[in-house]
Amino acid sequence: MNLAQRDTPHALWSAELSQPPAGPPLATGDLLLVPTQEAGPPAYHATLHALSLADGGPRWQHPFEYALISGLARISEVSETSEILILASTISTDLMRGEGALVALNAVGQERWHWAPGVQHVSAPAVAGNTACVVADAQTLVVLEAATGAERVRIRLSASASLSAPTVADGVVYISCRGPHLLAAGLDGHPCWRFDAADGADVWIDRTPVVAGDCVFAVLTAGAVVALLAKNGSLAWRTPTGPTGKPLSQPATDGARLFIGARDGLHALDLADGHEVWHFPTERRITAAPIVAGSVVYVGCHDHHLYALDAATGRELWRYEAERRIEVPPVMATCGEPFTPCILVTDRGGTLVAIARPLSAEELEAAGRWVEAASACAAQGQFVRGAKLLEAHGEPAKAAEMWEAAGERERAAKQYEAAEAWQQAAEIWAALGSPRQTEALERHAQSLTDRPCSDEERAAAWAAAAQAFEAEGGAEQAAACQREAAKWRKQPIITLDVQHEGLVHNVWTRLQFTVRNEGYGTARNLVIRASGDEFEGQVMATRQIFTLRAGREHTDWLDVRPLEYGETVPLRVSVEYENQAGETCVCGQTIYIPVARAEADRGAGQVLHIETGGGAVFLGDVAVEAGAPVSSALPGTTHVLTFDRLSPVDFERLCLWLVEREGYAHGEHLGLAGSEQGRDVIAYKPVPQGEELWYFQCKRYASIGARTLKEEVDKYLQLVEEKPHLRPTGVVFVVSCAVSAKAREQVGDYCEQHGLAHEFWALTELDMRVKRHPDLLREFFNTAT
């Protein structure tokens, strides 16, 4: 899931109109209605164009002779005929031949009714239900029956109204004026209140007001915004906006902010008190009203651009450049085939373009498109909101990614667990130092049983779980996980019974060794060794057993003479064998045996049971009391070296040694003093042209994922941005655990994107490289080679 992915806006279609636009277009059904007028001035005639939203093709035209269109409105459905009507109001341009009127047309351009009261000017209409409101000749508010055009009420106004559409809300009509006034009247014909701004008569409140909550919001041509209480018209607040004395656009609101275009760009004011939340600057003025969809505000500008801005912050999401300036508001609709959410913009020259519009998070959520809604949230930096949305609608894996992006790692881990993405959960729990890592690793290993993956991946998962259990002191669980790892690797599991009849100081005694292979593969060239300064000789070895197949056992003997006596005389016992891959496995354990001082004190015989496990885990020395059987795991180099037993500093030191053994030069261990931006070890690789600088990232982790490694790459990138001369040729990831193919691919792609070569020395590769160098085995693992 790309958390910040958003669609790129692109044009679906365009259409050329014969005249410039005369006002805001209107989308209804499958039509787009666009009013135009002659290019003038003066302009005497107008045309209403009906275009197909599917492709922009013309459907019909309706001419208006000697009249201009002052505004359009839509009646959703006329109850008697179930048809949609379009209302167009007009202004006469010739007193003898034109008229101010309100005309109702159906979807095919046929006239349904025509209201012409003998006036010159009819304002843009406002519709509420089956009621239409207009102002005739700036003096009379007329309320009509929308279905028939029949008049209901006429109200004489106390001030000269503008041609802008009134606003109707909760049975009240709010009317802007050609003066510093705003009027409110009831649909029943009774005046409600009048607001008079403390400005001169040359200041108008002539734009359509906006109602939100309990306030009415209007703009003054003096460059100010006022909020009035809807119940009585009293002033709640007034805020200067934009350059002083310059007109503002009609406002729009998202319920929390008010958006107003000005000569210097778009302003967002807080509805509660009018303070400016943000300002998006533009080089030229904005006269067209903005429109809001969800969390996005769209506005056209005289600089030829349509802008899409984040409503909360004013951050630009995208822009579209038109051929000419944009003077009328855009329109939202669904266009194209198949229908696609779009925004339609008309420029001054009459070019109309349908632009495919990325939906806002709110719109996608309303449509039930939860994943896309969350992605839209992420694109706006709202990761918590997106995560909650995904979590609430059953998308735990995607919710986890979003919680990670939000920095809520614990919640991310829990969602990964809910999605049964145990490896990702384990990585986070490990980074948080939580014991829940152990359970997650075990569940991950269990989940691989029926998944398409290699046996080595399954084995590595069980080995990682074993390491985690061991670190927490869960010896029994660790041993069980090691057995699972051995099963998938087809490794031997060697158990050893050491039997004697009681040991006496300075007396030769025969030790019987019964070795069993309880695992899943054959052990070859098997040798049992006993050693220690407290016994005769330094190394006593059985003869070599050629082959010990799974399910078989073999008995051999060694004669030993204790040189010390006591309750706990140490004897080092080790088993050496080759597995099916030809790798030498050496497992060793110090056991403590009671040795009598004299024959008379000889104790009872005993049988000591020792188990190597599959890739045994070091559990320490074992003290054996007389007659007590012992079960323990032998430490050593069983298949894969126990890198987890090294301290973080020693692991980095091992990396430094290995880097030089592998042919690099001038190695430096920066991590010893606290690594500089992730550079644990640096070294130079000889090449024909000279030397290449490489960085080595050393991670002694039980498990690791792509995210952690990519974060280390980011540290390098930040370093080289500050210090370009330190840019490496590549990065080697030296890690003590297995790295999945998916993680390797993601990290590799990330490195390539930033021009870095890369290599992985993960668990099995690292094991192979270290075993090439006997001095490393002696230095770091105290192991025979």
Rounded-to-integer distance, Cα 662 and Cα 355, Å: 58
Q: Taking a C-beta distance cutoff of 8 angstroms, is the pair 93, 46 a contact?
A: no
Contact 468, 437 (CB under 8 A): yes
**pTM of this prediction?**
0.58
> How does DSSP classify residue 780?
I
At 622 the pLDDT is 32
Residue of 583, 646, 589, 578 lying closest to 616 (CA atoms): 589
**Torsion sign over Cα 732, 733, 738, 742:** negative
pLDDT value for 603: 76
- One DSSP character per residue, 307-352 reads EEEETTT--EEEEEE-SS---S--EEEEETTTTEEEEEEE-TTSEE
Give the span between the Cα atoms of 438 and 443, in whole angstroms: 9
φ, ψ of residue 226 to 5 degrees: the values are: -120, 145
Confidence (pLDDT) at 354? 94
Q: What is the pLDDT of residue 754?
A: 92
Q: How far apart are CA 54 and CA 442, in angstroms?
A: 56
What tokens were used for 305? 């651009």
Give the bridge partners for 52, in sequence order: 31
Q: Mean pLDDT of successive 10-residue segments in the chain (785 residues)?
A: 56 90 92 90 89 94 94 78 86 88 94 94 94 96 93 95 96 96 94 94 95 97 96 96 94 96 97 97 96 92 95 92 94 84 93 87 77 80 86 89 89 90 88 88 88 87 87 81 87 85 87 86 85 71 77 86 85 83 78 85 74 40 31 40 78 90 89 65 90 91 82 89 90 88 89 93 87 84 60
At residue 562, the pLDDT reads 87
CB neighbours of residue 211 within 10 Å? 17
CA distances from 551 to 479, 493, 614, 616 (A): 19, 10, 14, 18
Q: Is 586 exposed, middle or buried (0-12, 13-18, 19+ CB in 10 A)?
A: buried
Domains and CATH numbers, the chain: 366-481 (1.25.40.10), 490-623 (2.60.40.10), 643-781 (3.40.1350.10)
To the nearest 10°, report the CA torsion of 764, 770, 772, 775: -160
Nearest to 759 by CA among 714, 717, 729: 729
Size of the chain, expressed as the number of residues it contains = 785
C-alpha distances in Å from residue 3, one per residue of 270, 387, 400: 29, 10, 11
Which amino acid type is present at position 469? F
- Answer whether 115's CB lies under 8 Å from 121's CB: no
C-alpha span between 300 and 560 (Å, rounded): 96
Burial of 725 (0-12, 13-18, 19+ CB in 10 A): exposed
Amino acid at 254: D
Give the DSSP H or E segment for 418: helix 409-418
Q: Distance (Å, rounded) from C-alpha 240 to C-alpha 264?
A: 13
Burial classification of residue 145, based on how many CB atoms lie within 10 Å of its CB (0-12 exposed, 13-18 middle, 19 or more buried): middle
Q: DSSP string of 438-498? A: HHHHHHHHHHGGGSS--HHHHHHHHHHHHHHHHHTT-HHHHHHHHHHHHHHHT---EEEEE
Q: State the DSSP code for 597.
A: S
The pLDDT, as a whole number, for residue 533 is: 76
Helix (H) and strand (E) counts for the chain?
14, 48
b/e per residue 445-465 (b: at least 16 CB within 10 A): bebbeeeeeeeebbbbbbbbb
Quote the CA–CA distance of 247 and 219 in Å, as a whole number: 8
Pairing of strands 10-16, 351-356: antiparallel
Question: CA 175, CA 125: separation in Å to the nearest integer?
Answer: 11
Q: Which residue in 131, 233, 225, 141 sits closest to 182, CA to CA?
A: 233
Strand 67-78 versus strand 83-92 pairing type? antiparallel
* % of the chain with per-residue pLDDT over 90: 44
